[in-house]
Amino acid sequence: MGVAEDDPGVLFVCLGNICRSPTAEGVFRALAERAGIAERIRIDSAGTGDWHVGRPPDPRAIAAARNRGIELGHLRGRQVTAADFARFDWILAMDRYNLRTLRAMQPSSFRGHLGLLLDFAPELGVSEVPDPYAGDASDFDHVLDLIERASAALLTHLRVNPVPR
């Protein structure tokens, strides 16, 4: 049994789709699988830029996630398209820059939720997932810490409110 078109969809978005957003996709998918509801949620990731289309996530993101039992190596970068606003109910950016880019793309017909992932975990005290690309392994671990907390809260939210209101 696969995901149906009317099942809720979640799209995670960062700049290049090789660090933060594929990490969020992998973490959220793993949590949904553990909860037994992955087959009822469409989960994907994309970048606002096109530099890494078709490429796997950054090797440091893959290694950090693998250390926590999450596999990202099969994912491939893609760019956000206008069609994503029809396919996904929840479009969650990793930072304000990408959120602004998404808002500029957003069609007037979009009735879903467009916001920041970390809005689901206000107790963290930060609103943006920092870009670890220019950093080291500890930066990728920090990104995972933030994404894991926010993804758990998002999953709890979706169990109650699968479609944005």
Catalytic residue numbers, as ranges: 14, 20, 131
CB 10 within 8 Å of CB 40? no
Residue 154: phi, psi to the nearest 5? -60, -45
Residue 69: phi, psi to the nearest 5? 80, 20
What is the separation, in whole angstroms, between the first and last Cα of the chain? 27
Burial class (CB in 10 A: 0-12, 13-18, 19+), 102: buried
